[in-house]
């Protein structure tokens, strides 16, 4: 069945090579033989972590997102370094952004964030057994931490205060919203 839906690449052209993403323009042959173009944002992949405290609260990060033009409340997340194992990346990003280390990182799901135009894949984990260490954000990251209860998070999702897809999904997958 897959062959009947699959597209074949005829030509591929690199448009831009950036610090975080690159952009490729592919010419593809469609299943009916016609030709179309696909704009593909190439991304190294990412992780997101739901840090669960023993009392059920969740450690969240608040940061300005230039693409969104506003401060968003999110679960900790970050992109994979070249060749980095996703679970190591999850441990690293959790500690860098929140200052906490986890004794357990449990894989919840791996998803394409928006497969209409990017290959970005995101590995989502739950972190447990948290102990405070030291926050060490990247030099261009400015992050506030908030530790919130499931009831607060449910309210903030329904009121529109949590507007980030991976955060909503991670909280559902970790059982926080159920």
139 in active site: yes
Residue (63 or 135) nearer to its own copies, CB: 63
Q: Does 32 bind its own copies (CB under 8 A)?
A: yes
Residue (47 or 52) nearer to its own copies, CB: 47
Q: Which one of residues 46, 80, 89, 153 is an interface residue with its own copies (CB under 8 A)? A: 46
- CA nearest to 50, candidates 147, 135, 139: 147
- Pairs from 114-120 (Cβ < 8 Å, separation ≥ 24): 117/39, 117/40, 117/41, 118/21, 118/40, 118/41, 118/42, 118/43, 119/40, 119/41, 119/42, 119/43, 120/41, 120/43, 120/45, 120/46
Residue (129 or 138) nearer to its own copies, CB: 138
Q: Does 36 bind its own copies (CB under 8 A)?
A: yes
Q: Which one of residues 23, 53, 87, 147 is an interface residue with its own copies (CB under 8 A)? A: 23
Q: Does 155 bind its own copies (CB under 8 A)?
A: no
Q: Which one of residues 44, 63, 128, 137 is an interface residue with its own copies (CB under 8 A)? A: 63
Q: Tokens representing 149?
A: 């209860």
- CA nearest to 16, candidates 46, 47, 39: 39
Spatial CB neighbours of 103, under 8 Å, sequence gap ≥ 6: 128, 129, 130, 131
User: Which residues between 1 and 20 bind its own copies (CB under 8 A)?
Assistant: 1-2, 4-7, 9, 15-16, 18-20
User: Which residues between 69 and 108 bind its own copies (CB under 8 A)?
Assistant: 69-72, 74, 77, 79
Name the residue with tokens 């991304």. 43
Residue (105 or 130) nearer to its own copies, CB: 105
Q: Tokens representing 142?
A: 């400015």
Give me the active site residues, please.
Answer: 139
């Amino acid at each position: 069945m897959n062959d009947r839906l699959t597209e074949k690449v005829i030509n591929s052209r690199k448009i831009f090579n950036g610090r975080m993403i690159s952009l490729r323009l592919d010419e593809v042959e469609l299943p009916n033989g016609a030709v179309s173009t696909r704009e593909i944002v190439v991304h190294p992949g990412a992780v997101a972590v739901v840090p669960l405290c023993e009392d059920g609260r969740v450690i969240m990060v608040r940061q300005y997102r230039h693409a969104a033009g506003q401060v968003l409340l999110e679960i900790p997340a970050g992109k994979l370094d070249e060749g980095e194992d996703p679970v190591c990346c999850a441990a690293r990003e959790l500690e860098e952004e929140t200052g906490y280390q986890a004794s357990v990182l449990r894989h919840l799901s791996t998803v394409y964030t928006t497969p209409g135009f990017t290959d970005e894949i995101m590995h989502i984990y739950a972190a447990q057994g948290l102990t405070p260490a030291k926050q060490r954000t990247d030099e261009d990251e400015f992050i506030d931490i908030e530790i919130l209860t499931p009831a607060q998070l449910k309210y903030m999702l329904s009121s529109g205060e949590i507007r980030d897809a991976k955060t909503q999904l991670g909280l559902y997958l970790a059982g926080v919203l159920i």
